[in-house]
Amino acid sequence: MTKTTQEGYIGPMTDEPKGPVAAEIEKRLIEALGPTHLRVINDSAKHSGHASSPGTGESHFTVEIVALQFEDMSRVERQRAVYDAVGGLMEEKVHALAINARAPDEIAE
């Protein structure tokens, strides 16, 4: 069986399965910030067995996000924007969130 793809039809395949918390983080960030690039990485396995790990498999994340809104924001303002978008998940489900937030003109080509 040969796999064929059409540019722009389905989009790139990833080997990163998303659980419900990661999917909700992604949804909220897309709605609030309209990123041109977004990657939500589940780092929870790295913290398995730590006192801070609730054992859900979805408690520690890294967010890589590029958004036009970040152009005139400081690093702290960008992080606040991401935290505001993620909202109550930080209190209810997410223990740790590492953020790499950049403006489009900060991306190396």
- Better-scored residue on pLDDT, 68 or 108: 68
Higher pLDDT, 9 or 35: 35
Average pLDDT, the chain: 81
For residues 43 and 2, give the distance between their C-alpha atoms in angstroms, rounded to a whole number.
Answer: 33
Residue 9 lies in a domain: no
Q: What is the pLDDT of residue 10?
A: 45
Instruction: Tell me the pLDDT band of 100, cut-offs 50, 70 and 90.
Output: very high
Q: Is residue 1 part of a domain?
A: no
Domain of 67, CATH number, reads 3.30.300.90
If one counts the domains in the chain, the total is: 1
Query: What pLDDT, in 10s, does the model give residues 26-51?
Result: 999 999 999 999 999 998 876 555 55
- Long-range Cβ contact pairs of 19-24 (< 8 A, separation 24 or more): 19/57, 19/58, 20/58, 21/56, 21/58, 21/59, 21/61, 21/89, 21/93, 21/94, 22/58, 22/61, 24/89
Q: Which domain holds residue 76?
A: 33-106
Separation of alpha carbons 41 and 14, rounded Å: 12
Kindly report the pTM of this predicted structure.
Answer: 0.76
